[in-house]
Amino acid sequence: MLEELFFEFGFILIVAAILSMLVYRFRQPLIIAYIIAGVIVGPSILAVKHSTEMFDVMSELGIAFLLFTVGLGLNWRSMKDVGGISIATGVGQVLFTAVAGFIVGQLLGFETIASIYLSIAFTFSSTIIVVKLLSDKEELDTLYGRISIGFLLVQDFIAMILLLGIGAFASGATLEGVLVGSLLKGIIIVPVLWFVSAKVVPHLLSYVARSQELLIIFALAWCFFIAGLLTWFGFGVEIGALIAGVTLSGTMYHREINAKIRPLRDFFLIMFFVVLGTRLNIHELSAALIPTLAFSLFILISNPLVVLLIMRSLGYHPRTGFLTGTAIAQISEFSFIVVAAGIAAGHLDESILVIVTSVALLTIAVSSYLIKHNMQVYEWLHPFFHYIEPKQVLEDEALKQHKPTKVLLCGFHRMGNVLLPSIKKLHQSYTVVDFDPQVIRELSENGEPVIYGDAGDENFLSELHAEKSRLIISTIPDVSVSLSLISYLRHQKYRGIVVVAAHRQEDAEKCYHAGATYVIVPSVLGGQKFTELLDSQKTQRRNWKTERQQEIQGEKRLEKVFPVLSKKKSE
């Protein structure tokens, strides 16, 4: 028995590893390789997997660890920082997809209960895939990246509530019983968990964190303890593991715990997706072809469109709405958990899993390319967005009153925020340009000269008379925006200084070739700065302390970088 399990397990891992290398070659998420590996070793092709119970247990552990790590990211202390836009967009998208998905299911001939489960399953987007792809593009800290993460955070909380409801229904409770029971349990458990998270857990972690081994064993024990306790109260393993992660998320050690648990989670998740693949009967794919294509097109088209329209109605630029929408145009790991819970409860037939798995493979593959090439896709579709873009009073009034200034700062988040004090010290007239409505409101309230607009839109730049500024700084690390800005200035025969930002050296070279005076590449600039510090500070501790104080107090002078402008202060 042991040898048979060993060889089964080894063969599955070898197949998964080979497929993962092939999938990685085409820049696809490895989840696709795991599911295909399951199809190959499953009963449809090789029929290798016989130890069903063992693999099912490992699959359940994968779900538990996944939800535990998701919970670690749901920091209840920082929910106030998610922002109204993430909450409004997240809730709006979930409601639209659930209702529209149910209608699609009914039109395709599914039973009511199956349509409900499918509409819920297709509501959520994959946190793991989105974070991974945005991290690879170095766009987690962009405006649309931050909104996307907040958006997914809202989705995770909604998923937590839905899993709670599904678990209650699985026990045979009525709708009234589910609502009343969940409310009563919530009234009791939430205050207790809040007290434990705020008062007990920090003291425990401050002790166990003295040893890395002790920290990981404590985290694992805590996960199983809270999950087991809540399962005993009727919440289920999944919701218990998620809440166990939430109780640790507000501590200073949650990132360290996440890093320690992640390899274990990934290992068991491989088994989770392999088991899903074994349930995908390729002989049933032909029957599921039309529903798969219909639901996939629905997700790939409706998610970006509804997010774009919601964000546009809240004052955000169509570019931001489109990029955020394309980031979440796939289904989530929660989709499988929801359907698996429905099958376990006897509400669904296993054939539904074929549709969900096929939709997952298709949407994950397509959305990976959408995220990778989102700016190019936006440029292709921009003429359509131009017609649905409403004019804003704020934008029109600001442009009417605007007079050309010596300095133009495009993009205020992070780098722009740091540069603004130095720009003020130049004693030159300046204007800040951004298309984040929240930034516009905050700067306007502080009396800063700010205008809402897209620095990559030549029509906007023309109305702004950008070519009359002596110094233009764009901190937006999007090469398409930078190239559009430089192209406009070149056509206007601009003679001033234009500084843009880029994530990578190859993008910087494109901007230099287009005519940029200087390109800020944070990694390169940081390395150069540190090299200067090493050359000047040597090993004198007091010099490093002085430099640190200067950095904290923002004493860096922009005049050192642009001496030409400094000499013309009197103009």
Check whether residue 543 and residue 435 sit in a common domain: yes
User: Would the pTM count as exceeding 0.75?
Assistant: no
**Does pLDDT of 96 surpass 80?**
yes
% pLDDT > 70, the chain: 80
With beta carbons less than 8 A apart as the criterion, state whether 271 and 17 touch.
Answer: no
Any idea what DSSP says for residue 82? T
**Does pLDDT of 97 surpass 60?**
yes
Q: Are strands 407-410 and 497-501 parallel, antiparallel or unpaired?
A: unpaired
Residue range 257-271: mean pLDDT, rounded: 84
Check whether residue 407 and residue 273 sit in a common domain: no
**Does pLDDT of 327 surpass 50?**
yes
Check whether residue 315 and residue 352 sit in a common domain: yes
Taking each continuous run of H as one helix and of E as one strand, the counts in the chain are 26, 6
Check whether residue 490 and residue 535 sit in a common domain: yes
Please tell me the distance from the alpha carbon of residue 517 to that of residue 372, in angstroms, as a whole number.
28
The per-residue pLDDT for 390 is 45
Check whether residue 378 and residue 507 sit in a common domain: no
DSSP string, 522-560: HHHHHHHHHHHHHHHHTT-HHHHHHHHHHHHTT---GGG
With beta carbons less than 8 A apart as the criterion, state whether 406 and 423 touch.
Answer: no
Residue 414, domain member (yes or no):
yes
Q: In which band, very low, low, confident or very high, does the pLDDT at 568 lie, cut at 50, 70 and 90? A: very low
**Does pLDDT of 85 surpass 70?**
yes
- Taking residue 3's Cβ as centre, other Cβ atoms within 10 Å add up to 7
Lowest-confidence segment of 215-224, 242-251, 493-502 by average pLDDT: 242-251
Check whether residue 397 and residue 540 sit in a common domain: yes
Q: Are strands 518-520 and 430-434 parallel, antiparallel or unpaired?
A: unpaired
Residue 82, domain member (yes or no):
yes
% pLDDT > 90, the chain: 12
Residue 518, domain member (yes or no):
yes
For residue 305, give the CATH number of its domain: 1.20.1530.20
Choosing from 362, 385, 408, the residue where a domain stops is 385
Q: Which residues span the domain enclosing 548? A: 393-566
Count: domains in the chain: 2
Check whether residue 433 and residue 536 sit in a common domain: yes
Residue 92, domain member (yes or no):
yes
Residue 334, domain member (yes or no):
yes
**Does pLDDT of 354 surpass 90?**
no
With beta carbons less than 8 A apart as the criterion, state whether 485 and 478 touch.
Answer: no
With beta carbons less than 8 A apart as the criterion, state whether 102 and 121 touch.
Answer: no
> First CA to last CA across the chain, in angstroms?
87
For residue 451, give the CATH number of its domain: 3.40.50.720
Choosing from 332, 367, 385, the residue where a domain stops is 385
Residue 37, domain member (yes or no):
no
Phi, psi angles (nearest 5°) of residue 433: -120, 130
Please tell me the distance from the alpha carbon of residue 33 to that of residue 277, in angstroms, as a whole number.
10
Phi, psi angles (nearest 5°) of residue 463: -65, -30
pLDDT tens by residue, 8-56: 888 889 999 999 999 888 877 787 888 888 888 887 788 776 667 778 8
Instruction: Choose among 220, 228, 295, 288: nearest CA to 68.
Output: 220
pLDDT tens by residue, 169-206: 666 665 566 656 666 776 777 788 778 877 888 888 88
Check whether residue 448 and residue 346 sit in a common domain: no
Question: Average per-residue pLDDT in the chain?
Answer: 79
Question: What is the SS3 assignment for 259?
Answer: helix
Choosing from 385, 407, 424, the residue where a domain stops is 385
Q: How far is CA 150 from the centre of its chain?
A: 7
Check whether residue 289 and residue 333 sit in a common domain: yes
Rama region for 346: left / alpha / beta (φ>0; ψ in -120 to 50; rest): left
Counting every residue written for the chain, the total comes to: 571
CA distances from 376 to 119, 319, 508 (A): 30, 11, 18
Lowest-confidence segment of 21-30, 264-273, 475-484, 523-532 by average pLDDT: 523-532
Check whether residue 303 and residue 451 sit in a common domain: no
Residue 33, domain member (yes or no):
no
Check whether residue 333 and residue 436 sit in a common domain: no
Check whether residue 411 and residue 341 sit in a common domain: no
Please tell me the distance from the alpha carbon of residue 117 to that of residue 342, in angstroms, as a whole number.
7
Residue 380, domain member (yes or no):
yes
